[in-house]
């Protein structure tokens, strides 16, 4: 089955899907979508104007969560969803919170609409601050049974949490010990680390 993933460097949502595909060792063609294409030619592929988007078996699927769930069903090996109905619910709960409540409001297009006059640097700070505030609430739900986000295995919850934390750092937010520890735990597993699309945060020494 041929897979084409429309993605963009620095796209948090695309990184989630790439990490899942890489972890499951599913071959795919990655197509980089430029900022210019996002608002022009690419709208024929995804009218939402967002990456990622997956072309598979004649279907065009957007929204990272929908894409990952589709990948899970097509390629159930190395499941990333959890081993029981409640683990799957917990994984989806974390991902939904990251996707809808943390990521969406700080999206560039949203800020441009609601706060068009804010200088670029102030926008970055605001985005980082928003993510950090939400991450401090999210922490209370994470790593209860093990150093993984939920349960005792690597799941999509780990992917969504680690990528949004890295986004906060890119926006200039300070390191957070809890999320550093989580990222370090993921990266000590060779398979998980090899699948991570961009390792833009060096491992800090264990404190």
Ligand X SMILES: N[C@@H](CCC(=O)N[C@@H](CS)C(=O)NCC(=O)O)C(=O)O
Backbone angles phi, psi at 14, to 5 degrees: -70, -35
- Chain-centroid distance of CA 89 in Å reads 18
Of 50-58, 130-138, 144-152, 189-197, the segment contacting ligand X by CB under 6 A is 50-58
Question: Nearest-CA neighbor of 4 among 44, 48, 57?
Answer: 57
Can residue 63 be called a binding residue for ligand X (CB under 6 A)? Answer: yes
- Contacting ligand X (CB under 6 A), which of 11, 87, 106, 132? 11
Q: Which of residues 145-174 bind ligand X (CB under 6 A)?
A: none
Per DSSP, the three-state class of 151 is coil
Q: How far apart are CA 123 and CA 118, in angstroms?
A: 6
Looking at the Cβ atoms of 108 and 144, the one nearer to ligand X is 108
Of 9-17, 21-29, 143-151, 198-206, the segment contacting ligand X by CB under 6 A is 9-17
Q: How far apart are CA 142 and CA 42, in angstroms?
A: 36
Can residue 51 be called a binding residue for ligand X (CB under 6 A)? Answer: yes
Looking at the Cβ atoms of 107 and 176, the one nearer to ligand X is 107
How far lies 158's CA from each of 30, 69, 111, 149, 182, in Å? Answer: 22, 15, 27, 5, 8
Can residue 7 be called a binding residue for ligand X (CB under 6 A)? Answer: no
Can residue 108 be called a binding residue for ligand X (CB under 6 A)? Answer: yes
Q: Which residue has the tokens 């029981």?
A: 84
Of 57-65, 87-95, 128-136, 175-183, the segment contacting ligand X by CB under 6 A is 57-65
Residues that bind ligand X (CB under 6 A): 11-13, 38, 50-52, 63-65, 99, 107-109
């Amino acid at each position: 089955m041929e897979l084409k993933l429309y993605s963009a460097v620095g796209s948090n949502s695309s990184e989630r899907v790439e990490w899942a595909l890489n972890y499951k060792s599913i071959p795919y063609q990655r197509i980089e979508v430029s900022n210019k294409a996002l608002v022009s030619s690419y709208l024929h592929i995804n009218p939402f104007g967002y990456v990622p988007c997956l072309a598979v078996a004649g279907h065009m699927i957007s929204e990272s969560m929908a894409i990952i769930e589709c990948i899970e069903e097509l390629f159930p090996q190395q499941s990333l969803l959890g081993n029981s109905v409640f683990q799957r619910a917990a994984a989806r709960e974390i991902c939904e919170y990251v996707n809808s409540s943390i990521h969406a409001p700080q999206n560039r297009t949203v800020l441009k609409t609601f706060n068009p006059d804010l200088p670029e640097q102030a926008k970055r700070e605001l985005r980082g601050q928003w993510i950090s505030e939400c991450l401090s609430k999210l922490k209370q739900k994470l790593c209860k049974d093990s150093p993984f986000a939920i349960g005792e295995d690597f799941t999509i919850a780990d992917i969504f949490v680690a990528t949004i934390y890295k986004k906060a750092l890119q926006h200039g937010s300070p390191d957070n010990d809890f999320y550093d520890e989580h990222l370090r735990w993921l990266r000590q597993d060779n398979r998980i680390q090899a699948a991570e699309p961009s390792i833009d945060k060096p491992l800090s020494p264990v404190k």
